[in-house]
Amino acid sequence: MTEESRTLYEVIGGEPTVRDMVDRFYDLMELELEFQLLRSVHGPSLENARQRLFMFLSGWMGGPDLYQEAHGHPRLRMRHMPFAIGTQERDQWLRCMAWAMEDVGIDTELRVRLMNSFFQTADWMRNKPD
86 close to 129: Cβ distance less than 8 angstroms: yes
Q: Please tell me the predicted confidence (pLDDT) of residue 73.
A: 82
pLDDT at 46: 96
Residue 77 confidence (pLDDT): 79
Question: Contact at 8 Å (CB) between 92 and 52?
Answer: no
What local confidence, expressed as pLDDT, does residue 130 receive?
85
pLDDT attached to residue 30: 96
Q: Which residues of the chain are modeled with pLDDT < 50?
A: none
| pLDDT at residue 84 in the model | 87
- Per-residue model confidence (pLDDT) at position 110: 95
Largest separation between any pair of C-alpha atoms in the chain: 47
Indicate the helix (H) or strand (E) that contains 24: helix 14-31
For residue 38, what pLDDT is reported? 95
Question: Which pLDDT does position 126 carry in this prediction?
Answer: 94
